[in-house]
Amino acid sequence: MLQKLIRIVEDAGEMIRCAHHIEEDITEKSSPIDVVTKYDTAVQEHLHRELLKLMPEAGFLGEEGAHEEIATEWTFIVDPIDGTANFVRGFGHSNISVALAHNGVTEYGVVYNPYRSELFAAQRGKGATLNGKPIHVSDTDAAHGLLLCGSTAYDRELTDRHFAIMRRLYDCMGDYRRLGAAALDLCYIAAGRAEVFFECRLRPWDFAAACLIITEAGGQITQMDGAPLDVLHNCSVFASNSACCGLIEEVKPYLA
């Protein structure tokens, strides 16, 4: 199954890599910075068609289109282009994210950045890989570590909380980065490129695949209050290596 998912995602990646005239068809969704292009829609349609060939009985939860309650045992959770704002601006830092969850628990996860030809993948209990080679979180401590985060751009009511938490964690860590694609942020922690990630609210397709990649790479990921993730619904996310996992206690006072 994992290899079949990888092939489907790689094929979809070519649609992103070859995209052109992106600026000609951009639609705003919930806000001026929440946008969708014709490529988001086309990639999701491709993934919907090909993934359901693998498992016709599965549910499908994708970023684009209606978001109905999932009642099936197996569910594909898909972001056709994570980092659409980067995609529109030609940053070359976006990805396709595909998870296959069983009763709300991710069993397979694939995250692919076609611009760098980097494909992160995991199957529960089988470890995590980058382009087929095993990856593991770093053992770097907070003082020497990198913090990655979003910016609650779609949830402005959480902005004050976000920046208060970022400042508190920044004071504990070496530096921070804001890269604009949550699934890749999480995979970078899995690959040892950074040590901590947080976001006050993410959608399931932003983290459903990468959360398994992190845990299979030896990292830890929960909601910001320490509760388990809910890969079928919006929730907060805190991820880290083992050396920095205690920093979640610095976050909790801001959640009241």
pTM for the complete prediction? 0.95
With residue 77 as reference, give the H or E element that holds it. Answer: strand 74-82
- What's the pLDDT band for 21 if we cut at 50, 70, 90? confident
Tell me: pLDDT of 178 over 80: yes
The mean pLDDT value for 126-141 works out to 98
Report domain extents, the chain: 2-134, 142-255
The mean pLDDT value for 15-24 works out to 86
Q: 2-134, what's its fold?
A: Fructose-1,6-Bisphosphatase; Chain A, domain 1 (3.30.540)
User: Do the first three CATH levels of 2-134 and 142-255 match, i.e. the same topology?
Assistant: no
The mean pLDDT value for 171-200 works out to 97
Q: Which CATH architecture has domain 142-255?
A: 3-Layer(aba) Sandwich (3.40)
At 30 the three-state DSSP class reads: strand
Average pLDDT, the chain: 94
The pLDDT of residue 70: 82
The mean pLDDT value for 176-182 works out to 96
DSSP string, 123-143: ETTS-EEETTEE-------GG
Phi/psi of residue 112, nearest 5 degrees: -130, 125
Tell me: pLDDT of 71 over 80: no
